[in-house]
Amino acid sequence: MMRPAVFFDRDGVLNEDDGYAFDPAKIRWVQGAQQAVKAVNDAGYFAFVVTNQSGIARGFFEERHVRNLHDWMSCELAVVGAHIDAFEFCPHHPDGLIERYRILCNCRKPQPGMITALLERYPVDINASFMIGDKQSDLAAAQAAGIAAHLFDGSNLHTFLAPLLTACSHGPPHRSPSHRGDAGK
């Protein structure tokens, strides 16, 4: 059965973007983030995370560190009765120091590869789904995958998200204009 999905960027949307986050001891949740994920779960949507993690290509940390952080986030979310259905991350960067990750790929946002991989694995209702990101590259990836995109303003994530869930249950989602951007991490 098809279900809508919310695609969250990670750094700057779910957790504060302090630059190349990988240590759970240093992670600070964005205000309302855990409640936002729970609201997505309670509304019957899939909850996905799609995140560029070029710190791997740059040699700052390894894939296992990212997986460990995602496991920690899952445990933290479980405390409030919330969950992420899948985490996707891109370890690549064309200027990376680690040769095997120094590539141009289709998963690094603004490319849609992480989103399209999830769309292939899960029965997602694309027309009722949307992305929440804090950079133009997040919005561009969503739009390239054919889903709506909303630029998170850095406020309380639950407060930001709640009317989007309501809007999607009463008709097709609308596309928010974007006004800032960069290539992401």
Question: Among all residues, which ones are annotated catalytic?
Answer: 9, 11
- Strands 148-151, 46-52: pairing is unpaired
Tokens 């240093």 found at: 26
- Paired with 51 in beta bridges are 89
Long-range contacts, stretch 10-19, CB < 8 angstroms, 24+ apart: 10/49, 10/50, 10/51, 10/89, 11/51, 11/185, 12/133, 12/134, 12/135, 12/152, 12/154, 13/132, 13/133, 13/134, 13/152, 13/157, 14/49, 14/73, 14/157, 15/73, 17/134
For residue 169 the two structure tokens come to 């249950």
